[in-house]
Homo-oligomer: A and B are copies of this chain.
């Protein structure tokens, strides 16, 4: 029994993994193994750090790095995207958990699971409604402004951790700041700065030296990407050795329960769902948009294709998996994906290997995570997040397109001043307004006949025949609520300029739809024209448009106005003495 080709391709669409696993080679496996190990080494500190950034126990970040990437591997169309906890989602989770109406309910772990489940469901619903095209809802400048703003918020949240300050935030209260700095813990500060030092050394000078001595590039990648793990190990050893946690009040991660949580249904029986829904909606939207953007970058480099709607399925499944396996919401991470790609990952096998290694780490190494100092994690987050702050992008955007520049700056400021969700909302609204503005003025051509032919062309571009009593108008877009007012005004302006017009023919060649609002306005226009002794006609309407109009009484209202099949027929019947322009 061979499945039909059609069946087969539907199956392949739903499980892109089948597309590569059948032809998987040993060579690819070695590449993936290497990349998987490197990515796993990065995932352990990132998982713990992002969970803490979100205001959650560290294990949630680890759990999110196991089952979710496995589901993404099954459903996802990107071969290199590394799905798991990410910084932007983490700060969005923190924002949700600290909202008064949520925090008052307690149990942040439960809230995080609900966020994962809801984000997953929102994505799957969007997939069902085939809303993959909604990546469009957020333009690049808005996304950049949002990411920069969120990254700045993350940096601001990590500085106190890095310096060992006790008060997390002072705002504009000057007196608070003296208290702020008196709370500084010297041991924490030392660990924070040393960690930063190690990370900076590995990312710059060391690579430079290794390149000089002619080491293999993939090995250089591997070495440089071990920096976070090395930082963690060194910092943890220091805490252990000097008992910094006990004697010097250095903040540490604390106990991490060993092994896996039971498949968790903690998120089921709750009334928090409604309160968390708006936050989940935003997390789903941003997680999706950012993931697809990252996936496209690596796919373009290899000439592969990303299917936006299938990405919704894959990310939705990954987030549901996060919920049942006790994890926080996940997305594709920018730095991890680039590392995975640079380390030579060929397929999602690399991420399956990484997930397996994470599972081993959770089973065997959990007790080792207890003494990781938070200052070292803060240093790792800082180094990972700084490249996401793209302020230098703003003047470029501003110079190229003023509207986009305003949107980028407004979104950035919105995030910083009003908060994460408000910032995105502002960005989306600005995107939509700018879109409405741009599309509310469709191209409309007054046309005439090219002499000796039956072709009708724009009178501004061609030398054509026209008739003083006849206005031939071609609207080059579907007529909707957004542009009908402009069209109406255009017609009225033309009629003011040409007082001899008695017949107006709307040429419908480019029109594939007329919505309810537009139809009502056309009906009113027809009435006013009739009152002013002018007649409105239609020509060259497509079948579906005519079918739709025939459901209404618009065509009978037009009378004596007619529906012509060809513009030429209209001209023959309606035109008086012609003139050449």
Chain A interface (Cβ within 8 Å of chain B)? 133, 135-137, 139-141, 296, 300, 303, 305, 308, 397, 399-401, 403-404, 431-432, 435-440, 443, 476-478, 480-483, 485-486, 492, 510, 513, 515-517, 519-520, 524, 527-528, 531-532, 548, 551-552
Contacts and interface: CB of A to CB of B under 8 A. Distances in A.
Oligomeric state, in number of copies?
2
Given A300-B524, A443-B510, A438 B517 contact: no
Contact of A404 (B136, B300, B431, B516): B516
B477 A477 contact: yes
A452 to B, nearest CB: 14
A528 B440 contact: no
B438 A478 contact: yes
A517 B551 contact: no
A436 B438 CA distance: 12
Contacts of A400: 516, 519, 548, 551-552
Nearest to A432: B432
Main secondary structure of the interface of A (DSSP, over half): helix
A432 B438 contact: no
Contact of A516 (B139, B510, B515, B548): B139
25 contacts: A133-B437, A133-B440, A135-B485, A136-B440, A136-B482, A139-B516, A139-B517, A141-B517, A296-B524, A300-B527, A303-B531, A400-B516, A400-B548, A400-B552, A401-B515, A404-B515, A431-B481, A435-B439, A435-B480, A435-B481, A438-B478, A438-B480, A438-B515, A443-B510, A476-B510
A411 to B, nearest CB: 13
A431 B440 CA distance: 13
Q: Which of A481, A519, A520 has the most CB of B within 10 A?
A: A481
Nearest to A483: B136
Contacts of A404: 515-517
Contacts of A305: 492
Contact of A133 (B431, B485, B524): B485
B551 A399 contact: yes
A432 B134 CA distance: 12
A403 B548 CA distance: 13
Contact of A482 (B435, B519, B548): B435
Q: Which of A133, A397, A510, A520 has the most CB of B within 10 A?
A: A133
